[in-house]
Amino acid sequence: MDKDKINLLIVDDEEQFLSSISRSLAMRDFNVIAVNRGDLALESARRNPIDIALVDLKMPGMGGLELLRTARTLVSELEVVVVTGYGTIEKGTTGALRFEVQGIVDGRAAIVVEHVTRMCDDIAPDWPQGKGYRVIIEGEPKMTVSLDMEDRHGDHAVGGVILTATRIVNAIPSVVEHAPGMMSALDLPLITGKGLYRPAG
């Protein structure tokens, strides 16, 4: 461990969240120790100097509050942040969103774009599920194309951010060369992969 960095212990049983936040905080120059159980967190605290602990409240076995009490006996000056994904969606507020935009040709919907966003998977379970985009072309034959994005650790949220970032980066030359004034995404050229492939070294 780098002795000049803050030692941060992250404890969460949600592997995807644990992986994502660990990478994010490591990039911000923390020494990160990530574990998915309370007993492993205590073992880490015994073996490593910990400055801050980020602890999930609800976990199988040892919960966040029990872990907090025990960890404080090992590291009396330990700073602890307790987090939880278990919340309450109050009446009159929104936990999920679904809408569609239709392109009408000759009085019928020729193109339909539907968008679904939910705070967690168990909200509106009867709505379409997925981690990306699905294109359905009705006709004979009917065709369905699914595009699910994820990073190397299986995080689809990070994968979506990477895709967005590549579009922005690829747009820089066109934006720089454009005359002063407003531009929209429709003004930007589509960048294909032709000539951009490089074998892994």
User: Residues 123-152: what's their mean pLDDT?
Assistant: 85
Same domain, 28 and 62: yes
**Mean pLDDT within 123-147:** 86
- Looking at 35, 57, 83, which one is the last position of a domain? 83
Percentage of the chain beyond pLDDT 90 is 8
Please tell me the predicted confidence (pLDDT) of residue 197. 66
Q: What is the pLDDT at residue 105?
A: 92
pLDDT score recorded for residue 101: 92
Are residues 12 and 78 both part of a single domain? yes
Is-above-0.75 flag for pTM?
no
CATH code of the domain containing 76? 3.40.50.2300
The answer to whether position 73 is within a domain reads: yes
- Per-residue model confidence (pLDDT) at position 1: 56
Q: Are residues 182 and 127 in the same domain?
A: no
Mean pLDDT of the region 122-132: 82
Please tell me whether residues 26 and 53 are part of one structural domain. Answer: yes
List, for residues 33-57, the tens digit of each pLDDT value: 999 998 898 898 888 888 888 888 7
Residues 77, 47 share a domain:
yes
pLDDT attached to residue 76: 73
For residues 72 and 18, membership in a common domain is answered with yes
For residues 161 and 137, membership in a common domain is answered with no
Q: How many domains does the chain have?
A: 3
- What is the per-residue DSSP string for the chain? --TTSPEEEEE-S-HHHHHHHHHHHHHTT-EEEEESSHHHHHHHHHHS--SEEEEESS-SSS-HHHHHHHHHHH-TT-EEEEE-S-----TTS-SEEEEEEEEEETTEEEEEEEEEEESSTTSSTTS---SEEEEEE-SSS-EEEEEE---TTS-HHHHHHHHHHHHHHHHHHHHHHSPSS---GGGSPPPP-TTT-----
